[in-house]
Structure 1
């Protein structure tokens, strides 16, 4: 079970890195692939985050439901912005997705 948890955390962090990389690709180079990178990375983050919470609940670990709720709302916002950005790319949508991803990391790290 530890291997599955570690793999999910690894994928979750790759998703976060993908959102930030897509954001930078879109803002700096105006790459046409950036919106897809942001979208797929946000979906990876959303799915792995939900599975990680489910595993924590099943394992009997203490879960701060308010924190998880806030992170879920922010993750859904990132995904919604990513969908909009994939439909009609705009630098401001890439910036919004990147900023929301950084906000979600801040919530994860600083909310104790």
Structure 2
């Protein structure tokens, strides 16, 4: 079970790398007002959602303690991120506010994962 959990942690990290990488590659375009939500951001957010849910289930099945409040906060942030990226994905240009919010919430999600013990 431990190996399976580690595989899904790796997939979760790949998802967050895709989401954050998609955001970071658009930073220069954001300052110019031409940024857009790219498919990597959507797929990264979806990957994070699916692998995160699987990780919670696997950890509970393995008898590990799961902090439900932490998971709830992380999922709430991810739902907001996913909603913004999904709704705005076909627009030619993304407004600076929602685009910056996705980057800020993604960064907050990372720090919650690492610092909340």
Task: Please tell me whether the aligned partners of residues 8 and 55 of structure 2 are also in contact (alpha carbons under 8 angstroms).
Answer: yes
Choose the corresponding residue for 2:89, options 86, 90, 94: 86
State the structure with more CA Rg.
Answer: 2
The total of aligned residue pairs comes to 111
Task: Please tell me whether the aligned partners of residues 5 and 59 of structure 2 are also in contact (alpha carbons under 8 angstroms).
Answer: no
Structure 2: any 5+ residue segments left out of the alignment? none
Structure 1 CA distance, aligned partners of 2:87 and 2:25?
17
- How do 1:1-112 and structure 2 match up within 5 A? 1-29=1-29, 34-88=37-91, 89-92=93-96, 93-112=98-117
The ranges of structure 1 where at least 4 consecutive aligned residues each deviate by more than 3 angstroms after the TM superposition are: 29-32
Structure 1 CA distance, aligned partners of 2:95 and 2:22?
11
- Per-residue deviation at 1:50? 0.5
Relative contact order, higher structure (CA 8 A, sep 6+):
2
Query: Larger % of helix: which?
Result: 1
Structure 2 CA distance, aligned partners of 1:61 and 1:42?
25
Task: Output the aligned Cα RMSD.
Answer: 1.7
TM-score by length of 1: 0.88
TM-score by length of 2: 0.84
Structure 2 CA distance, aligned partners of 1:5 and 1:40?
21
- Per-residue deviation at 1:24? 1.6
